[in-house]
Amino acid sequence: MSSRFYHIVNSAKPVLVDFYADWCVPCRLMPPVLKEVKDDFKEHIRILKVNVDHYPDIASSCKIQHIPAIVLFQGGKIQWSGTGVQAFDDISIALREIL
């Protein structure tokens, strides 16, 4: 997945990555927010979920120290990130700034 992950986040299309773990209770609050983001931005973005327990190398290379963590990439560069449960409005503002 590592090489595939980096290929995807190097896209010109914004990629929103949700770093999570199955055991993380706050992480379970993010899927409804991300669904709302996906519904609002449709084909303008891509959303990926990365389980930090399954892909620690990706989490480490993205400097993820706390979860949930939401990271917005465009062209391989981090454009915005947030740790903890993120509100739709905060993610939406970040996306609108780069679209």
State the catalytic residues: 24, 27
Q: Which of 79, 71, 81, 64 is nearest to 21 (CA)?
A: 64
The secondary element (H helix, E strand) that includes residue 3 is helix 2-9
Q: Which of 15, 5, 10 is nearest to 60 (CA)?
A: 5
- Specify which residues 3 forms β-bridges with: none
Strand residues in the chain grouped as ranges (E): 15-20, 46-51, 69-74, 77-83
